[in-house]
Structure 1
Amino acid sequence: MPRFWMLFGAQVFGAFADNCLRNATIVAIIAAASVSRGEDFYFFGELANEAGTIVSIGFTLPIFMFAMLSGQMADRYPRHVMARRLKFLELILMSLAALWFFLGQALPLVLTLALMGAQTAFFQPVRFALMPQYFPPERLNRANGIMQAGTFIAIVTGLGVGGYFFEVENGRTIVSAMLIGAAVLGAALAAKLPPAPPPGNEKVHWNIPLIAYRYTKEAAKTPGVFFPILANGYFWLVGALLLAHMPIFMRDQLGGSNQDYALLNAFFALGAGLGSIIAGVVAPRIREPKQMSAVALVVGMAALLGVYWYTRVPFTGDFDLFGPEGYPLLALFVISSAANGVFAVPMLSSFQANAPKAISARIMGVANMTNGLFATMGAILASVFRNAGVDPAEMFLVLAAMGGVVLAIMIFRFRMFHGRHVGAEGV
């Protein structure tokens, strides 16, 4: 499967670089929040405390804005050529971001991250559309499981080293070098992707709101597409909310360090990768993979309730993530995130396999637009809930409640679908 590994490598090196940079930026700005204006990574005084939200919105909002345009282009132009050019652009932007990080310039760094979000908006529909083009439907769950697992392992590594190395000697140089190295490898692998001609030749429409409405409507009437797109967007919402919330949770509820924050995020992403591997192995062997998603939601909700119960009283003294008080929290986060990974893979495979081939990349554009919208909403909600008085531990109650709403919708849809079939059989 050499073509898979070329695409896999291009994706995971990009995911590593994105998350390494995002987490290092968040840690750097929050660490500088109490320092005077002349210091490195200064970011508008008290506004620096919202760095998790601002950085997340800066990265995900462009994904929402440009997703439909990128989906159209991936249906019109050769997808392997688009992937190569976009990865070369990533190399340029990541080199620029590495320079700003090395120099300690927060505002240019956040703006460059927003450009990286736009690059991601154009790459993801291409990547999503290449999967069913390279693999038949019966192999999609396994391929997606491996791809998702690799992506989350890259996220684990990126989150961990981005937050960790910022505070070590020569950390800026190390992080900057890793960003450029990952971008070079991603571009080199994308250059080896085999030809993947587009399925259509329709012109690109620049009226983005109109075309977004048109293809969202198309996705909504295609069986097995729209609800999985929304469910996958929920997965992004949870991830963005947690990324924006974790620095405050670690500081105010646990009393941990920036390095503890980076490592806790890494464990959360590690769990998601493990869940993706589990889903990729199990889903092809069961009759209805979406039922596995529902079970995963229940497990994830229980783990989130466990996080709330365990941290509802702020920790006092020196918190040790790898001590007796840290191990239960690590276990709960890994279980919760693994459940999220199991939840997401069947949803992703469903809309990939069911999207009409002639407009598959545009449907993936709808999915990417939804992901960007939900991720932006998650980052905003983290700030909204916090300013409304929800304490850091109670945020996990909110997340569990949101999971309950999604589960209720899934049960309702399952009953409605089977009710129609039973009625048809009775007739």
Structure 2
Amino acid sequence: MGRFWSVFTAQTLGAFADNCLRNAAIVAIIATVGAGSSDTPFYFFGDLAKEAGTIVSVGFTLPIFLFAMVSGQLADRLPRHVMARRLKFLELILMSLAALWFFLGQALPLVLTLAVMGAQTAFFQPVRFALMPQYFPPERLARANGIMQAGTFIAIVTGLGLGGYFFMVEGGRLIVSVMLIGAAVIGALAATRLPPAPPPGREKVDWNILGVAWRYTVEAGKVPGVLWPILANGYFWLVGALLLAHMPIFMLTQLNGSEQDYALLNAVFALGAGIGSIIAGLLAPRLRDPKFMSGIALGVGMAALIGVYLYTRTPFEGSFELFGARGVPLVLLFVVASAANGVFAVPMLASFQANAPKPISARIMGVANMVNGLFATVGAILATVFRRLGADPAEMFLVLAGMGACVLIIMVWRYRRYQSADARGL
């Protein structure tokens, strides 16, 4: 169990710090909308501050997409426990620098530092993904992943909530900065306790990012139970990034809420995803085919998103409180939608982790990380594109439900295809 808690602590505290900083940065920059002076703390090019959700999200996720394949190769060549330790130490340096910019109220350097932190995440995630099947046998992997995902989402919830909340209170910038550095210190210490995890291969690293990405994506497609679950897991990231980028405008213009309501609503969404991950982690080992659970969860999530659209399609007037009479139904819908998304993702993650061939497992995880970064970047950009096209903020949830329907249709089509192949004895 010691190895699990070492990975768990390093992963969850990193997720806490990342999301605490990202949400605090988004809230801080959005609060400057309309500010006429560049001397205002967190001033970010005037009205461009309205797109803080997209800018911060893309700045963090685009480097994940760009560097994922190189990081996957390195994790197949270098001792994984050593690589994890060095990356967590680098995270400590970067988080300390980001905490300084946040304390000083410097938006542009903060966003740039977040982009470098995205690159650090790109190198850490394939290592973390590859360590799980190396530390745990297949029969324990789904449960370990479920607990890991649940802990990660709880960390995300806490980070989103505290980052957005403490920015609003007196001395909040100092409190957030101290939390960021403290989490990075503990995460780095936890990484020093990771058991040895030797690499499965010693192939030379190919720095042709596009060529490597294509080659290993094709290779992943040849392994049953790998590429399609990777794409499905990427859809989970797309939804999360789109909502993170969309929530500020949705809260402020459609619900007439505050920046604090926005921070709490993001926390509610992440909490639901954590609940869903716990449910999936408990149920998946008992099911013959956990992907059925993913399909059902996708349908439930679509229904909840349609419910959000129907409930909010008419802009709210007057004061709004997230946990008031009008806010509670919305909170419940978001919890159901995000829990369903968490249930959907866990079996997909366990599938490609368990089926990835060990000699190239980290590179397969690099493909997964690349897809996650790409989908998250696309999701954040889509939030701005739909708004620029004049879409009503509530309509975004109808769009998400439609995207979920497309994913469900693909899942059903692939299931029937494999059923037909089995019937023919293929």
Question: How far is 1:424 from its partner?
Answer: 1.4
Question: How far is 1:45 from its partner?
Answer: 1.0
Instruction: Describe how 1:373-392 pairs up with structure 2 within 5 A.
Output: 373-392=374-393
- Does the residue aligned with 1:8 lie in a helix, a strand or coil? helix
Distance 2:9 2:284 in 1: 23
One-letter amino acid matched to 1:178: M
Q: 1:370 — aligned with what?
A: 371
Distance 1:263 1:208 in 2: 38
Distance 1:17 1:35 in 2: 28
Distance 1:179 1:391 in 2: 36
- Quick check: 29-38 or 174-183, which moved more? 29-38
Distance 1:323 1:53 in 2: 28
Instruction: Describe how 1:320-399 pairs up with structure 2 within 5 A.
Output: 320-399=321-400
Question: How far is 1:93 from its partner?
Answer: 0.2
Distance 2:12 2:213 in 1: 28
Matched, 1:7 2:7: yes
One-letter amino acid matched to 2:23: N
Distance 2:209 2:387 in 1: 33
One-letter amino acid matched to 2:384: S
Q: 1:423 — aligned with what?
A: 424
Task: State percent identity of aligned pairs.
Answer: 77
Q: 2:123 — aligned with what?
A: 122
- Does the residue aligned with 2:322 lie in a helix, a strand or coil? coil
Distance 2:198 2:366 in 1: 17
- Does the residue aligned with 2:424 lie in a helix, a strand or coil? helix
Distance 2:109 2:287 in 1: 49
1:131-156: CA deviation from partner (whole Å, max 9, x where unpaired): 00000001011000000000000000
Question: Mind listing any 5+ residue stretches in structure 1 that lack a counterpart?
Answer: none
Instruction: Describe how 1:253-332 pairs up with structure 2 within 5 A.
Output: 253-332=254-333
Q: 1:40 — aligned with what?
A: 41
Q: 2:168 — aligned with what?
A: 167
Question: How far is 1:383 from its partner?
Answer: 0.4
One-letter amino acid matched to 2:24: A
Q: 2:16 — aligned with what?
A: 16
1:263-312: CA deviation from partner (whole Å, max 9, x where unpaired): 01001000000000000000000111001000000000000000001101
Question: How far is 1:75 from its partner?
Answer: 0.1
Distance 1:389 1:268 in 2: 25
Q: 2:84 — aligned with what?
A: 83
One-letter amino acid matched to 1:228: P
1:85-110: CA deviation from partner (whole Å, max 9, x where unpaired): 00000000000000000000000000
Instruction: Describe how 1:176-255 pairs up with structure 2 within 5 A.
Output: 176-255=177-256
Question: How far is 1:34 from its partner?
Answer: 1.4
Distance 1:39 1:322 in 2: 31
Instruction: Describe how 1:83-162 pairs up with structure 2 within 5 A.
Output: 83-162=84-163
Q: 2:30 — aligned with what?
A: 30
- Does the residue aligned with 1:424 lie in a helix, a strand or coil? coil
Question: How far is 1:390 from its partner?
Answer: 1.0
One-letter amino acid matched to 1:188: L
One-letter amino acid matched to 2:16: F
Question: How far is 1:188 from its partner?
Answer: 0.4
Distance 1:35 1:184 in 2: 36
1:161-207: CA deviation from partner (whole Å, max 9, x where unpaired): 11111010000000000000000010000011010000001111111
Distance 1:189 1:247 in 2: 34
- Does the residue aligned with 1:366 lie in a helix, a strand or coil? helix
Distance 2:302 2:191 in 1: 38
Distance 1:336 1:283 in 2: 19
1:66-124: CA deviation from partner (whole Å, max 9, x where unpaired): 00000000000000000000000000000000000000000000000000000000000
Distance 2:326 2:101 in 1: 37
Distance 2:416 2:207 in 1: 40
One-letter amino acid matched to 1:69: V
Aligned CA-pair RMSD: 0.6
Question: How far is 1:62 from its partner?
Answer: 0.1
Question: Mind listing any 5+ residue stretches in structure 2 that lack a counterpart?
Answer: none
Distance 1:235 1:270 in 2: 15
1:234-257: CA deviation from partner (whole Å, max 9, x where unpaired): 000000000000000000000111
One-letter amino acid matched to 1:137: P
- Does the residue aligned with 2:189 lie in a helix, a strand or coil? helix
One-letter amino acid matched to 2:31: A
- Does the residue aligned with 1:247 lie in a helix, a strand or coil? helix
- Does the residue aligned with 1:152 lie in a helix, a strand or coil? helix
One-letter amino acid matched to 1:242: L
- Does the residue aligned with 1:206 lie in a helix, a strand or coil? coil
Aligned length: 425
One-letter amino acid matched to 2:330: L
Distance 1:386 1:237 in 2: 17
TM-score w.r.t. structure 2 length?
0.99
Question: How far is 1:35 from its partner?
Answer: 1.2
1:194-236: CA deviation from partner (whole Å, max 9, x where unpaired): 1000000111111111111110000011100000000000000
- Does the residue aligned with 1:203 lie in a helix, a strand or coil? coil
